[in-house]
Amino acid sequence: MTDTVRVDARGLSCPQPVMETRRALEGAKGGRVEVLVDTVTSRENVARFGQSRGWTVEKAERDGGYCVILTK
């Protein structure tokens, strides 16, 4: 079973959430990465970035913000 990597990018302005996501994806190489963000723009940017790297993207509302769930 693969552990879930969690990235809390709430409060960060673009492009920081994408940069934090890139760091997590490079370290994970596969499995599940959950990225917490607090704006729609960050949610969409992180989702697009994950998709462009070949990850499956799911979006959810969580903890008063948004969670982008990336799996591979």
What pTM did the predictor assign? Answer: 0.92
**In the prediction, which pLDDT does 63 show?**
76
**In the prediction, which pLDDT does 19 show?**
97
How many angstroms separate the first and last alpha carbons of the chain?
13
**In the prediction, which pLDDT does 55 show?**
97
Class (C level, CATH) for 4-71: alpha beta
Give the tokens for residue 18: 């994408």
**pLDDT class of 61 with cuts at 50, 70, 90:** very high
Task: Summarize pLDDT for 4-44 with one digit per residue, the tens.
Answer: 999 999 999 989 999 999 999 998 888 999 999 999 999 99
> What number is the average pLDDT over the span 44-71?
95
* Sheet of strand 56-62, all strands in order from the earlier edge strand to the far edge: 4-8, 32-37, 65-71, 56-62
For the chain, the 3-state helix, strand and coil shares in percent, each to the nearest 5, are: 35, 35, 30
Domain boundaries, the chain: 4-71
| DSSP conformation letters of 58-70 | EEEEETTEEEEEE
